[in-house]
Amino acid sequence: MASNIGMMDSAYFVGRNEILTWINSTLHLNLSRIEEAASGAVQCQMMDMTYPGVVPMHKVNFDAKTEYDMIQNYKILQDVFNKLKIDKHIEVNRLVKGRPLDNLEFLQWLKRYCDSVNGGIMNEYATFFENYNPVERRCKGGKDRNLRCSIKGSKSLQTNIVNHSGSGTALNSNPTSGAKQIRPSGVENEPNKSAEIEALSQQVADLKIAMGHLEKERDFYFAKLRDIEILCQASEVDNNPMTVATKKILYADEAKESALDEALGYLNQTLNSVQDEAETEA
Does residue 154 form part of some domain? Answer: no
- 41-50 and 67-83 helices cross at what angle (nearest 10)? 20
Total structural domains within the chain: 2
Burial of 50 (0-12, 13-18, 19+ CB in 10 A): buried
Residues spanned by the domain of 246:
200-281
Q: Using CB atoms within 10 A of its CB, is residue 207 exposed (0-12), middle (13-18) or buried (19+)?
A: exposed
d(CA 53, CA 276) in angstroms, rounded, equals 62
- Domain boundary among the residues 102, 123, 140 is at 140
In a domain, 46, yes or no: yes
Name the CA dihedral angle for 227, 233, 234, 236, rounded to a multiple of 10 degrees.
130
Residue by residue, pLDDT tens for the chain (282 residues) are: 554 565 556 777 888 999 999 999 999 999 999 999 999 999 999 999 988 889 999 999 999 999 999 999 999 999 999 999 999 999 999 999 999 999 999 999 999 898 888 764 444 444 445 678 889 888 865 554 444 454 433 443 344 434 444 444 443 444 444 444 444 555 556 677 878 888 888 888 878 788 777 877 787 887 788 888 888 888 788 788 888 888 888 777 665 567 888 888 888 888 888 788 777 876
Looking at the fold, whether 99 and 204 belong to one and the same domain comes out as no
Final residue before a domain boundary, out of 124, 140, 156 = 140
Q: Are 104 and 16 in contact (CB under 8 A)?
A: yes
- 3-state DSSP call for residue 6? coil
Cα distances from 230 to residues 155, 208, 224, 236, in angstroms, run 51, 33, 10, 12
Widest CA span in the chain = 105
In a domain, 44, yes or no: yes
Q: What is the pTM of this model?
A: 0.50
